[in-house]
Structure 1
Amino acid sequence: MDLDDLTPKKPKAHEIGQDLSKLSEADLKALIETLGAEIARVEAALSAKESSRSAAEAAFKR
C-alpha cells in the first residue's frame, strides 16, 4: 500500500457553482479576495502567452 493513499486530501476551498448560501459574510469576502487573486494570476499567465506568441509571430514574419 502506498503512503499517499493514506494521506487525507485537502478539501477544495471553492468549487465553481458551489452553494454560497452556507457561507458567512466573512467567508464570502474572503472568497472574493481569493478569486480576485486567482483572476489576476490567470490574466498574468494569459498576458505572458500573448507576449510569447507576438514575439514568435514577429520573429517569423516576412
Structure 2
Amino acid sequence: MSAIDPEDLMPRPAKPAPRLLDPMSVEELESYIAEMEVEIARVRAAIEAKRGHRGVAEALFRR
C-alpha cells in the first residue's frame, strides 16, 4: 500500500494552449526554445529534490 501524496488530490491546472509558431521569427523561436530549456531545467531540479526528500523519508522509516 502506498501513501497518497497531497499534491495528487489537488486539481491540476489546465494546460496552456501551445504557442502559434508560424508568426514567430527565427530569433523569436530561438528565444522561445531558450525559455523552455530554462523551464525544463527548473522542473528537473524539482524532480531531483522530490526524489531526495523521498529517499530521506524512506531511510528514516526503515530504521
Do both proteins adopt the same fold according to a TM-score greater than 0.5, normalized to the shorter chain? Answer: yes
Give the % identical residues. 40
TM-score, scaled relative to structure 1: 0.71
Deviations 1:10-46 (A, max 9, x none): xxxxx55221001000000000101000000000011
TM-score, scaled relative to structure 2: 0.70
Question: What residue identity is the alignment partner of 2:38?
Answer: A
Number of the residue aligned with 1:8: none
Greater Rg, structure 1 or structure 2? 1
Where in structure 1 do 4 or more consecutive aligned residues deviate above 4 Å?
none
Determine whether 1:28 maps to 2:29: yes
Where does the alignment leave 5 or more consecutive residues of structure 2 unmatched?
A: 1-15
Number of paired residues? 48
Distance 2:62 2:28 in 1: 50
The CA RMSD over aligned residues, in Å, is 1.3
If asked which structure has higher relative contact order (CA below 8 Å, sep 6+), I would say 1
Where does the alignment leave 5 or more consecutive residues of structure 1 unmatched?
A: 1-14
